[in-house]
Structure 1
Amino acid sequence: MTSFFARYVEEEFIPYSASHIVMLAALVVLALLLYGFRERSRSNAHVKTMIRYSILLGLLAPQILLYYWYAIVGLWSVKYTLPLELCSISQMLAIIMLFTRSKLLYQIVFFAGIGGAMQAMLTPDLDYPYPHFRFFHFFIVHIAIILAPLYMTWIEGFRPTWKSVWLTMIFLNILLVAVGGADYWLDANYMFLREKPQGASLLDLLGPYPYYLIAEEGIALVLFSLMYLPFIPWRRRQS
C-alpha cells in the first residue's frame, strides 16, 4: 500500500495552505468556465452530455474509491462511515438529479448542496493533507456537489423559486430528525448533531450545544434567501 492510500499520516491538514488554496481556486475556475461557456453548451447536446457526465464522474468515482479504501485499511464503521453527513446526502441527491433532471431534487441540491459544500470547502473537517487520497476525495466531491446545481441552472435552464427556500428548510429539518435518531441509536455524531467537529469550523462561532443547532437554522434561512436574490424577477415599473 502506498502512502497515497495510507491509513495513518504524520502530517496534518493545514487550512488555507497552498494545497487548500489551489482547490478553492479550482472551484472558482471551473465555475467560471461553466458560466462563461453556458450559451455555447446549451446549443450543443454533445457538450452538455460531456459536462453532465464529467460532474457525475466527480461525484461517483471518488466515493467508490473511498469505500474501497475503508475496506482495505479497516476503517469501516457504522459510527463514522455511513453516508449520513449533509454533504454525503447532497452528493447522492445530486447524482440522482443529474440522471433524472428532477426539478424537485434540483431545488434542494441548489440550496443545501451549495450551502453545505461551500462551508466544507472553506472550513474543511479533514485529517489528511495533500497528496493523500482523502484530500483529493474531499475536494473533488465537494466541488462536484457545487457544480451539479450550477450546471442545471446555467445550462439546463432550471431556476429556484422562493418556495424552494422553504422546501429546503423543511427537508433539512426532516433530515435533522432522521439523522439525529440514527446518531442516538448508533452513538454517532453525523451532521455534528451531538457535538461540534474537533477541527476548526464555523460552528465554533455559534455557541455550545444545543444552541449552535438553533443558530444554524437561522443562518441557513438567511444564506438561502441571499442565494435566491439573483433569481428574483425584478421588474421595472412602467409609467
Structure 2
Amino acid sequence: MHDYFQFHSNLHSFRLFSVEHFLPMGIIIVLCTLLFIFRSKLTEKRKGRFLSFFLAILLLVSTTLEQTWLLYEHAWSLKRSLPLQLSDLSVILAFLMLLFRGKKLFQFMYFAGLGSSIQAILTPDLGRYSFPHFEYFEFFVSHGGVVLACIFMVLVFNCSPTLQGMWVTILIVNIYSGIVFFLNKWLGANYLYIMNKPKSSSLLDYLGKWPWYLLSMEMVMILSFYILYSPFWLKRMKKAGK
C-alpha cells in the first residue's frame, strides 16, 4: 500500500491515451454531462449552494492533501511544489470562485482555469505516478474539479464569459508569466514550463525550440480562448439575429 504513496514511485510510467488516461477523462465528461442534464434542478437555491460548497471543499481538500503528502514524504521543494503552474493555481482560484460566487473571477477562470485544466487533463505530466498512485487520483480530481466548477458557474449561476474578459485574462496571464519567469530564474525552477519543456509528451513538443515555443504557446493560448468563447459568441449572434 505504501508503494501508492511514495514520492519516488516504482510504478510504471503514466501512458497517454491509455485506459488509465481515458477512464478519468470519461468520468469527467460524464459528470459534466450530468451537470447539464440536471441544471434546472441545481438552480434551486438550496441544491445549488450545496453542490457549490461540496465542489469548493473537494478542491480545497485535494490541494491540501497534495501539499501534506509532499511534506510527509520530505519532498516539498520551492523548485517544484509551489502552486504556480496555471492549472495548479486554478484549483485554489476555483475554490474561491465557488465559495464567493465571484463573477469577475469567473471571467479569468473560464479562460485561464478551464483552458489550462483541459490541457493538463489531455497531456498529464505524471511521470511514474500512474494508476493507482495517490498523485494520479489527486491530479484528476483537482483538475477535473476545476472543469466542473467552471461549467457549474455557467449552468447554475448563469455566468457568461465576455470578449473583454478574454483579453483581460490574456493580459493577466502574460503579466503573471513575466513574474514567474523571474521567480524561475531566482529559484532555478521551471514553473509554467517557461525555461524548458516538460520531460513527458505534451503539446510543447510540436511548438519549436526555446524560446520560440513561448511565442507559439501565446498563439495557442489565444486560439484556445477563442474556441472556449465561441459557443457564447454563437449564442449571442443567434439572439441578435432574432
TM-score, normalised relative to structure 1:
0.95
More displaced 10-residue stretch of structure 1: 86-95 or 158-167: 86-95
Aligned to 1:123: 123
Q: For residues 145-197 of structure 1, give each alpha carbon's deviation from its aligned partner in whole angstroms, at most 9, with x where no partner exists.
A: 11111111110011111101101101100111111111011110000000000
Aligned to 1:80: 80
More displaced 10-residue stretch of structure 1: 8-17 or 163-172: 8-17
Aligned to 1:97: 97
One-letter code of the match for 2:135? R
Cα displacement (A) at 1:48: 0.7
Distance 1:98 1:167 in 2: 21
Q: For residues 98-153 of structure 1, give each alpha carbon's deviation from its aligned partner in whole angstroms, at most 9, with x where no partner exists.
A: 11111111000001111111111111000200111000010000001111111111
Cα displacement (A) at 1:4: 2.4
Residues 198 and 237 of structure 1: CA distance in aligned 2, closer, same or farther (over 3 Å) = closer
Percentage identity across paired residues of the two chains: 34
For residues 4-83 of structure 1, what are the structure 2 equivalents within 5 Å? 4-10=4-10, 11-42=12-43, 44-83=44-83
Structure 2 contact 53–99 (Cα < 8 Å) conserved: no
Distance 1:65 1:4 in 2: 14
- Partner secondary structure for residue 156 of structure 1: coil
C-alpha RMSD of the superposition: 1.3
Distance 2:228 2:80 in 1: 31
Where do 5+ consecutive residues of structure 1 fail to align?
Answer: none
Cα displacement (A) at 1:5: 1.2
- Partner secondary structure for residue 212 of structure 1: helix
Q: For residues 177-236 of structure 1, give each alpha carbon's deviation from its aligned partner in whole angstroms, at most 9, with x where no partner exists.
A: 111111011110000000000000000000000111101111111111121111121145
- Partner secondary structure for residue 186 of structure 2: helix
Where do 5+ consecutive residues of structure 2 fail to align?
Answer: none
One-letter code of the match for 1:64? T
Residues 180 and 47 of structure 1: CA distance in aligned 2, closer, same or farther (over 3 Å) = same
Distance 1:141 1:155 in 2: 20
Distance 2:90 2:71 in 1: 23
Equivalent pairs counted in the alignment come to 237
Aligned to 1:170: 171
Cα displacement (A) at 1:49: 1.8
Structure 2 contact 63–91 (Cα < 8 Å) conserved: no
Aligned to 2:198: 197
Distance 2:21 2:157 in 1: 30
One-letter code of the match for 1:173? N
Distance 2:220 2:7 in 1: 36
One-letter code of the match for 1:188? A
Structure 2 contact 123–203 (Cα < 8 Å) conserved: yes
Cα displacement (A) at 1:21: 0.9
Q: For residues 40-84 of structure 1, give each alpha carbon's deviation from its aligned partner in whole angstroms, at most 9, with x where no partner exists.
A: 111x22211221122113311121111111111110110010111
- Partner secondary structure for residue 58 of structure 1: helix
Residues 159 and 8 of structure 1: CA distance in aligned 2, closer, same or farther (over 3 Å) = same
Distance 1:220 1:162 in 2: 14
Distance 1:7 1:224 in 2: 34
- Partner secondary structure for residue 126 of structure 2: coil
One-letter code of the match for 1:73? E
Q: Does 1:182 align with 2:202?
A: no
Structure 2 contact 56–96 (Cα < 8 Å) conserved: no
